[in-house]
Amino acid sequence: MNILMILDGEFPPDERVEKEALSLISAGNRLFILCLNYGRSSDSEKYRGIEIIRIRINKSLRNKMQATYLILPFYKILWKKKIKSVIREHSIGVIHIHDLPLADLGIRLRKRYRLRVVCDQHEFYSSWIVKTAHYNTLTGKIIKFLSRWDKYEKKYLPLADLVVTVESPLLELYVTTGQVARNKIVVLPNTPSRTVFNPENIDNTIIEKYKGKFVLLYAGHIDILRGINTIIESLPLIKNAIPDFKFVLAGKFNKRYYDPLKYAQELGVEDMVEYHEWIPLNQLPSYVAASCVCIHVPPSITREVNNTIASKIYQNIVMNKPTIVGQAEMMKNFIETNRIGLSIRESDPADLAEKLKLLYSDPELVRSFENNTRLIAEKYYWEVTSIPFLEHYKEFQR
């Protein structure tokens, strides 16, 4: 079966997309990815068996066109022309669309080309998008008012042949509020691959670099919705209590909307922060292993945050590291039920500082959390959690 994945961004890197693509190839399918090219890549290439076709576009122009997707037709026209070309050239049987935008194109092209359509929701898009920084500028608020992503979501997701979501509570939301048939939804948590997140793949030079330090790690997307300010505000409160402390912060951010390094400088704690623009996926397990504790404390202000478990938590589990979370319901319950870390009060730097001092002063507590991760780690590898997803794809061939 020839599958066309649609990705409204560049590829690689995208860990989840890559894991899904490789799993489908291993199951005997031919896999194409149609994605964007901001001028740094060739227009086509073969990568790990994935056949990549790219649309060359200016990144700034893309961002403006994508933000107005539900208002103006230009971005839709661009994608539609290219998707139709790839379908005809490669006899595509399934269109697999990552995230909510472009779902309407898949649905509209399905009948014409006798396709199956998979809508892969990396997050609860309609809830997430309205809280983003670019949708809350003056211009962004106008665009947000005119862009009814909630109506778009409810209109097109029920029409897909399969909807992929990241956790069971989101499945329930799609059934109850989005009227998607339960048998057309599959849960695919963004768990780590055993081939990458393996204790045998550790780079000892990274371990040695942080030896003797108390390292707190956050690696992932960086924006105003990630709780990074809470972490930075806690640093002055632990500066004297944990003298060998280092907050390792990794990920890209847009200074126009949010600059955590500038904020750390304003608070006089820039020496406690070590910033990496990005940590390559193959090195990330080593940074997790070198950490004493990892953290993910996004404000629990959206249904998406309250009903998901971030991929970094699963990564921490298989690398046997405890995690600090906030009040996001599902993550908090998961961490506390399994006794693999601690939770803090929402956006409370003083509470975070106390929890960090507790972990620093009580190595036995840290070891107990690490031991508890070992008890559950095997359940949270991609090779296990992706089985239902692959079974649904097999149904398309029957």
125 or 91: whose pLDDT is higher? 91
- pTM (whole model) above 0.85: yes
Lowest-pLDDT range, 73-77, 246-250, 353-357, 365-369?
Answer: 73-77
Which residues share a beta bridge with 293?
216
CB burial of 157-196 (b: ≥16 within 10 Å; e: otherwise) equals: bbbbbbbbbbbebbbebbbeebebeeebbbebbbbbbeeb
Using CA atoms, how far apart are residues 112 and 114, in angstroms rounded to an integer? Answer: 6
CB-based contact 283:203 (threshold 8 Å)? yes
pLDDT(94) > 90 = yes
pLDDT(354) > 60 = yes
pLDDT at 17: 97
pLDDT at 223: 86
pLDDT(130) > 60 = no
pLDDT at 133: 62
As given in the structure block, the two tokens for residue 322 are: 């405890």
290 or 132: whose pLDDT is higher? 290
pLDDT at 70: 79
pLDDT(317) > 90 = yes
Using CA atoms, how far apart are residues 340 and 260, in angstroms rounded to an integer? Answer: 27
As given in the structure block, the two tokens for residue 183 are: 């048998």
Question: What mean pLDDT comes out for the span 253-263?
Answer: 90
CA-wise closest residue to 220 among 313, 126, 93: 313
Question: What mean pLDDT comes out for the span 37-65?
Answer: 93
pLDDT at 28: 96
pLDDT at 304: 78
Question: What mean pLDDT comes out for the span 132-141?
Answer: 64
CA-wise closest residue to 97 among 108, 111, 88, 85: 108
End-to-end Cα separation, the chain, in angstroms:
11
Domains, in order of start, for the chain = 2-190+383-396 (3.40.50.2000), 199-380 (3.40.50.2000)
Order of strands across the sheet that contains 162-165: 44-47, 50-56, 30-37, 2-10, 94-98, 116-120, 162-165, 185-187
pLDDT at 126: 61
34 or 224: whose pLDDT is higher? 34
Using CA atoms, how far apart are residues 279 and 231, in angstroms rounded to an integer? Answer: 19
Lowest-pLDDT range, 38-42, 50-54, 230-234, 244-248?
Answer: 38-42
CA-wise closest residue to 121 among 96, 93, 87: 96
pLDDT in tens, 263-310: 999 999 999 999 999 899 999 999 999 999 999 999 988 787 888 999
As given in the structure block, the two tokens for residue 205 are: 């030079």
Which residues share a beta bridge with 10?
36
> At how many degrees (to 10) do helices 103-113 and 149-156 cross?
30
241 or 68: whose pLDDT is higher? 241
pLDDT in tens, 373-389: 999 999 999 999 999 99
Residue 85: pLDDT band (50, 70, 90) is: very high
Quote the mean pLDDT of the chain: 92
Question: What mean pLDDT comes out for the span 120-141?
Answer: 68
Residue 320: pLDDT band (50, 70, 90) is: very high
As given in the structure block, the two tokens for residue 146 are: 């005119």
As given in the structure block, the two tokens for residue 10 are: 């560049």
Count other C-beta atoms under 10 Å from residue 369's C-beta: 21
pLDDT in tens, 137-182: 766 677 666 678 788 889 999 999 999 999 998 899 889 887 899 9
Question: What mean pLDDT comes out for the span 188-211?
Answer: 93
